[in-house]
Amino acid sequence: MRVIECDEYGGPEVLHLATRPLPVVLPGTIRLRVRAAGVNPADPKLRQGMFHAVAPFTFPQVLGYDVAGTVESIGPGVTGFAAGDPVFAMLDTLERGAYAEYVLVPAAEAVPIPPGLSFATAAAIPTGGLTGVQMIEEYAQPRPGDTVLITGATGSVGRFAMFAARRRDVRIIAAVRASQRDEAIALGAAETLILGTDGWTGPAFQYVIDTVGGPDVAALCRHIRDDGAIFTAATTPIDPRGLAHTPEFVVVHHDSVRLAQLAQAVAAGELHVPVACCLPLAEAAAAHRLVEAGGNGGKIILEL
């Protein structure tokens, strides 16, 4: 099968096409014929070696953990799936392997793709969707009427955090770029502010849900209630000096039940998940350059 792998840490040019044997189907797994792999901001960071100290790579390495495709082969002990079923999943973030024609998925993590949802859109959901929803529903757990600041609110994580916060009748303040203001309002923000240029003069935030990090977010974190909290998923840290609360770093975890609910919500049109561009697998390096540049307005997908 064709894969995109890298033999060393480095720039996008270390990604190259290679061939590997098909993965052998193990008990409890299904082999997926990959149709779409989501490119997350973490992928170029992993490729550069940003996480080497905590999770060093063994080379050659196949990146990618958001995947959608069809069931091709079913391992011993697996029930509830048939060959050809469209499914999607978030792979183990330490094992990865989505930039490939085939990948093994634990059956417990494979989620049916609802009718009407494309492979590309399904592959755009897992990491951003689960992270955003978990930040609201498991970490902050705001009450109706709470004022919550969400940074990067129109991004992949941010829009799902907005979705979850809206369902809790939270008053959302979205910190975005000027060009993203209208979209943030459409996603449910009561007010917007432009990160880095606007201060905040309204009531103190109960929670900060951060997907951007850095000094501009740190400045906003000063406007937080004594009984508030700051949750961040961003790899750019928030300097805690001068803040009343230490930002808590959130790590996404598997939740196939919630993933199925998110897919249903997207299929039902309750939430739009934009796909900015689909590129062939062989153009993974170009996909990484796009993600590193930012400003795409949606997910970059590798299509097979």
Ligand X SMILES: NC(=O)c1ccc[n+]([C@@H]2O[C@H](COP(=O)([O-])OP(=O)(O)OC[C@H]3O[C@@H](n4cnc5c(N)ncnc54)[C@H](OP(=O)(O)O)[C@@H]3O)[C@@H](O)[C@H]2O)c1
Q: Give the interface with ligand X as residue ranges (CB under 6 A).
A: 40-42, 127-128, 131, 152, 154-158, 176-177, 195-196, 211-212, 233-235, 250-252, 294-296
Whole-angstrom distance, CA of residue 206 vs CA of residue 200: 14
Tell which residue, 112, 104, 116, has the closest CA to residue 34: 104
User: 158 or 188: whose CB is closer to ligand X?
Assistant: 158
CB of 164 to ligand X, least distance (A): 14
Cα 287 to Cα 91, 128, 135, 278, 292: the distances in Å are: 19, 17, 27, 9, 9
CB of 75 to ligand X, least distance (A): 28
Asked whether the CA dihedral 160, 89, 231, 46 is positive or negative, the reply is negative
User: 94 or 251: whose CB is closer to ligand X?
Assistant: 251
Q: Looking at beta carbons, which residue is closest to ligand X?
A: 155
- In the chain, what is the greatest distance between 2 CA atoms, to the nearest angstrom? 60
CB of 132 to ligand X, least distance (A): 7
CB of 223 to ligand X, least distance (A): 17
Place of tokens 């996404």: 252
User: 25 or 276: whose CB is closer to ligand X?
Assistant: 276
Neighbours of 18 (CB within 10 A): 15
User: 41 or 228: whose CB is closer to ligand X?
Assistant: 41
CB of 156 to ligand X, least distance (A): 3
